[in-house]
């Protein structure tokens, strides 16, 4: 179920990408808002590297939170924007794998059949790859 706080995340992700989007550029087309379990929100925009490995908006938002020492997350959303309409995006494969390591219990806001929906992460990546190394 989508809450008022979830809608605020969508609004924040939309606001940041509209502020950072530049006509004629593909450098910033995705904005993300990440809510930590303590309620603080972290924002991110994608960093496109012209054909090289790019960094997704969700990963930038996580990076901002992790830089501050935050490791417990509640909900994330990503929105796409290219100067027209805003689109709620499901996380790409790279982001899904990233979240399986850093936030396996997170909830993700997606749009399905035109309706906003919040799903548990494991619904998006039920059989995530997990590295099994012993650390000393």
Active site residues: 58
* SS3 state at 79: strand
Q: Residue 73: which of 52, 100, 51, 46 has the closest Cα?
A: 100
Residue partners of 85: CB distance under 8 A and separation at least 6: none
Residues whose CB falls within 8 Å of the CB of residue 129, separated by 6 or more in sequence, listed in order: 97, 100
Task: Name the percent of the chain in helix, strand, coil, to the closest 5.
Answer: 30, 30, 40
Judge contact between 78 and 61, C-beta under 8 A: no
Q: How far apart are CA 44 and CA 48, in angstroms?
A: 13
């Amino acid at each position: 179920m989508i809450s008022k706080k979830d809608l605020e995340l969508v609004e924040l992700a939309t606001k940041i990408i509209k502020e950072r989007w530049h006509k004629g550029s593909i450098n910033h087309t995705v904005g993300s808002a990440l809510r930590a379990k303590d309620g603080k929100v972290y924002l991110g925009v994608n960093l496109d590297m012209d054909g090289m490995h790019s960094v997704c908006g969700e990963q930038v938002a996580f990076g901002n939170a992790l830089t501050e020492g935050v490791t417990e997350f509640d909900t994330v959303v990503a929105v796409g924007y290219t100067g027209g309409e805003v689109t709620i995006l499901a996380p790409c494969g790279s982001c899904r794998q990233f979240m399986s390591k850093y936030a396996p219990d997170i909830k993700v806001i997606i749009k399905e059949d035109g309706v906003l929906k919040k799903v548990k992460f494991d619904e998006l990546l039920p059989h995530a790859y997990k590295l099994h190394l012993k650390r000393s």
